[in-house]
Amino acid sequence: MAFQDLSFDGVRALIRVDFNVPLTNPAEDGSREVTDNTRIRSAVPTIQHVLDTGGSVVLMSHLGRPKGQDAALSLQHIVPTLEGLLGRDVKFASDCVGDDALEVTQSLAAGEVAVLENLRFHGEEKAGDEFFAGQLAENGDFYINDAFGTAHRAHASTAVIAKFFPEDKAFGFLMEGEVKAMDKVLGEAQKPVAAVIGGAKVSSKLAVLKNLLDRVDKLVIGGGMAYTFVQAQGGQVGDSLVESDMHAEALALLEAAKEKGIEVHLPTDTLCGDGFSPDAAQETHPTDAIPDGWEGMDIGANSRVAFATALGDCQTILWNGPMGVFEFDRFAEGTNHIANAIVKATEGGAYTLVGGGDSVAAVNKAGLAEKVSYVSTGGGAMLEGLEGKTLPGIAAITKD
Ligand code: AMP
């Protein structure tokens, strides 16, 4: 059932959220303030839905990487921000399990909200300890997972806990959105389907590329990883980033794509720099004839047009990884051009998903995040999803 259709009358909903937010350095009294409330803000609709339908809310999250108890990483620091966003008081339990937690969570009245202390103060959380998960489960009647960022981890609060709520478990709005988006691209995608894959290294995207071979009609490869493909085919790539030990894998991938009739686009021209620097001198060279002393930093002007044209008739586009070193403004044009092509495809009715890598930062930097169909919030989780792996946090909800 869709989360919107669930009602929580008289129910204590135990929600795994991602409140792993950046904080200021501790003040003299030890207090810290939230410097970017995006993650807390995005959990509000799920919390509000439980409250609006008559329930109470217990929130659990990790914050940072504590080794045991650590006051600097207490979730107490986020309570004032949450209170501001919800417009109501929020209770705080000084532990996430045991009497300190139960004292707060068992007496919650409808409309009340409580936050449990940082899950990772207990090593059992990351270990996926079943007894600990059972203790956590005592804090609620219904389990909701709305933390996509940790969906690829089989931790106590993200996956193991679900077994204590065989009938009473669901995704919140955020998780539901991510799962739907992934399915629209990897599952019942409208053809033609294109994947635009960029970023620094082939090795980190190999599993994604392999999984996509069974799902896409077009594969557009840019970014630093393109030079390994070009070099493997005998091209001269100058001082560009390459992974020579990946030649065989790269060639095998191109061969498999050919066998499946996939249209593969690699950059034919490259905007090079005379060093890895934001103010490097620039020259454009054919990607397979980059002179020594120059390194590929962005796709060239012809490739930008060719890539955008290839995307023009696609009904589904997945974008993962920038086309160049977009952090340097003078080498961001290729990435921005592709972002705009994806926006144009979206305006023409295509479903477009940006996720799992620095392409999310790139669309945000270009101010285009609102203009694509979906921007994923979970980098590592989305990447593993695109690799075709079953994410424990998702399986825990969808499987009995
Ligand atoms: P990823 O996290 O795998 O998506 O990789 C993103 C990183 O790849 C960004 O920091 C980019 O600067 C980097 N990158 C993209 N193109 C290149 C390139 N041609 N040379 C070096 N690094 C690149």
Q: Is 358 in the pocket of ligand 1 (CB under 6 A)?
A: yes
Which alpha helices (H) appear in 275-332, and where do they start and end? 301-312
Query: Do both 140 and 196 map to the same domain?
Result: no
* CB 19 within 8 Å of CB 43: yes
Q: What is the pLDDT of residues 275-306, one digit of tens each?
A: 999 999 999 999 999 999 999 999 999 999 99
What whole-number percentage of the chain has pLDDT above 70?
Answer: 100
Q: What angle do CA 224, 267, 222 make, to 5 degrees?
A: 35
Gap from CA of 43 to ligand 1 centroid (Å): 30
- Average pLDDT for residues 152-160, to the nearest whole number? 97
- pLDDT > 80? residue 356: no
- Average pLDDT for residues 154-170, to the nearest whole number? 98
CATH (domain of 313): 3.40.50.1260
Which pair of tokens denotes residue 257? Answer: 């794509």
244 DSSP assignment: G
Q: What is the pLDDT of residues 188-233, one digit of tens each?
A: 899 999 999 999 999 999 999 999 999 999 999 999 999 999 999 9
- pLDDT > 80? residue 80: yes
Atom of ligand 1 nearest to the CA of 326: 12
Query: Do both 158 and 221 map to the same domain?
Result: no
The total number of structural domains in the chain stands at 2
Q: Is 328 in the pocket of ligand 1 (CB under 6 A)?
A: no
User: Is residue 396 in a domain?
Assistant: no
Phi and psi at residue 77, to the nearest 5°: -60, -25
Q: Is 224 in the pocket of ligand 1 (CB under 6 A)?
A: yes
C-alpha span between 177 and 165 (Å, rounded): 22
Atom of ligand 1 nearest to the CA of 297: 19
Starting at the edge strand found earlier in the chain, the sheet holding 169-171 runs 91-93, 113-116, 56-60, 12-16, 142-145, 169-171
pLDDT value of residue 358: 84
User: Is residue 393 in a domain?
Assistant: no
Please confirm, yes or no, whether 380 is among the known catalytic residues. Answer: yes
- pLDDT > 90? residue 95: yes
Mutate to test the pocket of ligand 1, among 358, 359, 383 (most ligand atoms within 8 A of CB): 358
User: Is residue 185 in a domain?
Assistant: yes
Query: Do both 281 and 332 map to the same domain?
Result: yes
Phi and psi at residue 113, to the nearest 5°: -130, 135
User: Is residue 341 in a domain?
Assistant: yes
Query: Do both 325 and 236 map to the same domain?
Result: yes
Gap from CA of 363 to ligand 1 centroid (Å): 14
Please confirm, yes or no, whether 218 is among the known catalytic residues. Answer: no
**Going by CA atoms, what residue is nearest to atom 12 of ligand 1?**
325
Q: Is 324 in the pocket of ligand 1 (CB under 6 A)?
A: yes
Query: Do both 266 and 229 map to the same domain?
Result: yes
Cβ-in-10-Å burial (0-12, 13-18, 19+) of 44 comes to middle
Query: Do both 141 and 237 map to the same domain?
Result: no
pLDDT value of residue 300: 98
User: Is residue 400 in a domain?
Assistant: no
Q: Which one of 171, 195, 215 terminates a domain?
A: 171
Q: Which one of 116, 148, 171 terminates a domain?
A: 171
Strand-pair partners of 194: 218, 317
pLDDT band (50, 70, 90) for residue 399: confident
* CB 152 within 8 Å of CB 391: yes
pLDDT value of residue 116: 98
Question: Which of 91, 201, 215, 371 is the catalytic position?
Answer: 201
Query: Do both 258 and 143 map to the same domain?
Result: no
Query: Do both 141 and 245 map to the same domain?
Result: no
Q: Is 199 in the pocket of ligand 1 (CB under 6 A)?
A: yes
Could you list the residue range(s) of the whole structural domain that residue 9 is in?
3-171
User: Is residue 395 in a domain?
Assistant: no
User: Is residue 394 in a domain?
Assistant: no
Atom of ligand 1 nearest to the CA of 322: 15
Query: Do both 225 and 150 map to the same domain?
Result: no
Query: Do both 81 and 213 map to the same domain?
Result: no
- Predicted TM-score of the model (pTM): 0.91
Q: Is 243 in the pocket of ligand 1 (CB under 6 A)?
A: no
- Average pLDDT for residues 263-269, to the nearest whole number? 98
Query: Do both 215 and 306 map to the same domain?
Result: yes
Q: Is 149 in the pocket of ligand 1 (CB under 6 A)?
A: no
Q: Which helix (H) or strand (E) holds 49?
A: helix 38-52
Q: Which one of 171, 201, 218 terminates a domain?
A: 171
Strand-pair partners of 295: 273
What rounded mean pLDDT belongs to the chain?
96
- pLDDT > 80? residue 49: yes
Gap from CA of 58 to ligand 1 centroid (Å): 40
Query: Do both 108 and 233 map to the same domain?
Result: no
User: Is residue 9 in a domain?
Assistant: yes
